[in-house]
Amino acid sequence: MLPTETQRGAYAPGTTKRGTVNMYDSTAAKFEPIPDGPYEAPDITSQPEGHQHFDATREIKLKDTYGRELPVTSYRDHYPAKEVPQPGKPLELATSGAPFTATTTYDNEFWNKPRAPRPVEPLTYTHRPGPMITRDTTNQDTYKPFQVPVEHVEPASRDATAPPPTIPSIYETTYRVQYVPKAGEPRVPPGAIPPKDPLPWLNDGTTYRNDYVPKPLAILPPPDYDPFKPFPFGGTTEYRAEYPTKENPPQLPPLTGVRSRDGLALPLPRRSLGVEFVHRGVSDRFFMLIPRTMDAPCAARQVFTTVHDNQEQACILILYGDDPVASNNTLLGQFDIVNIPPAPKDVPRIEVIFRLSKDMFLTVEARDLDTERHKRWLQRGEVVVLRK
């Protein structure tokens, strides 16, 4: 949907007509944005919602100093494709117009030489006698059976109920007959355990845990512990005065959506950084500003323009990834450039600047080069929030 009917903003009376206003003539245009909008969209957390907000007449695309649309700047498009050599055309012989009715002399003067047949050895069969195997004999018949030695075993003279006696006994008795079993204590059936008398020092109470009331513990403040000063220093040495105290290294914020005035901390190894734009009518394209191979600190800038006539807003989607399709990359954050003066498409110039510090902090800045009215984005546009 193109914003052709609803125009945000008004021209002061007495100026030229809207169709003849020059965008670069700031004195003749006198554009006054309406105070009630349009406003910046709130922080978008989801990936589909961010791309839908970008497609709602807030697209941007590349342009050069002459207003012409530029191709995608990536590694593949930096270098033109090599031309594939075309296969050569066959030579066309000049014809005289008369039909060719003669016969060639190649087959008439040169005859095929007969080839001598290759000597082939005849197949011969030589009978080699082997062992005769019939149904009447097997391998077992050709070998003599193994003779197992037969040992003479005496028949048993007693039942195998006890070990054989080593000493001949003249008594006819056993252990059970000679010895009377002792009468043991009667078995007590299992039941409740009889209570035992408490210990002498616990006569006034019980030992169960639920009968005791826990004592409240005093909440003490945590002690002030300094790893660089583990012990109090009360001497008179000059070591403290001559050497300053070491500062703790800066702690990087976790990548869970924590805001920081320095920017967004990126992990290592990082991926490429860029924005989403429209290229030759095709949306959902990823424009790479800082490739993954560029070392920090570094910065990159690019000028974009509007896609629709009288476009009032431009959405900057900050993406993190290497996929040429913008929706397949990670959305780091977004902000809008609002109150763009009405103009035909390809006329406004919006500069987007990416800065990556040596500590891997990313800051993004966007401003309008034609009017210089969007100075607040130089301050607010530097804070980017990472969303999973």
Question: Which three-class secondary structure state does DSSP give residue 198?
Answer: coil
In this structure, are residues 355 and 299 in contact, taking their beta carbons and an 8 Å threshold?
A: yes
Per DSSP, the residues of 318-387 read: EEESS-SBGGGSEEEEEEEE--PPP--TT---EEEEEEE-TT-EEEEEEEETTT---TTHHHHTT-----
Question: Which three-class secondary structure state does DSSP give residue 196?
Answer: coil
In this structure, are residues 366 and 350 in contact, taking their beta carbons and an 8 Å threshold?
A: yes
Does residue 313 fall inside a structural domain?
Answer: yes
Q: For residue range 318-375, what is the model confidence (pLDDT) as tens digits?
A: 888 888 888 888 888 877 787 788 888 888 888 888 888 887 788 888 888 877 655 4
As a whole number of angstroms, the distance between CA 57 and CA 311 comes to: 7
Number of structural domains found in the chain: 1
| Mean pLDDT computed over every residue of the chain | 70
Does residue 374 fall inside a structural domain?
Answer: yes
Q: What phi, psi does 239 have (nearest 5°)?
A: -65, -40
As a whole number of angstroms, the distance between CA 59 and CA 307 comes to: 6
Does residue 335 fall inside a structural domain?
Answer: yes
Does residue 306 fall inside a structural domain?
Answer: yes
Sequence letter at residue 213: V
Does residue 71 fall inside a structural domain?
Answer: no
Does residue 85 fall inside a structural domain?
Answer: no
As a whole number of angstroms, the distance between CA 171 and CA 271 comes to: 101
Q: Which of 343, 345, 355 is nearest to 383 (CA)?
A: 355
Q: For residue range 304-315, what is the model confidence (pLDDT) as tens digits?
A: 888 888 888 888
Q: With 0.75 as the threshold, say if the pTM is over it.
A: no
Does residue 286 fall inside a structural domain?
Answer: yes
Report the CATH number at residue 344. 2.60.34.10
Q: Which of 324, 310, 333 is nearest to 383 (CA)?
A: 333
In this structure, are residues 268 and 361 in contact, taking their beta carbons and an 8 Å threshold?
A: no
Does residue 151 fall inside a structural domain?
Answer: no
In this structure, are residues 340 and 313 in contact, taking their beta carbons and an 8 Å threshold?
A: yes
Q: For residue range 265-295, what is the model confidence (pLDDT) as tens digits?
A: 676 777 888 888 888 778 888 888 888 888 8
Q: For residue range 193-236, what is the model confidence (pLDDT) as tens digits?
A: 878 776 666 655 565 666 677 788 888 877 776 666 666 656 56
Residue 271's domain comprises: 47-65+257-380
Q: Which of 357, 348, 341 is nearest to 9 (CA)?
A: 341
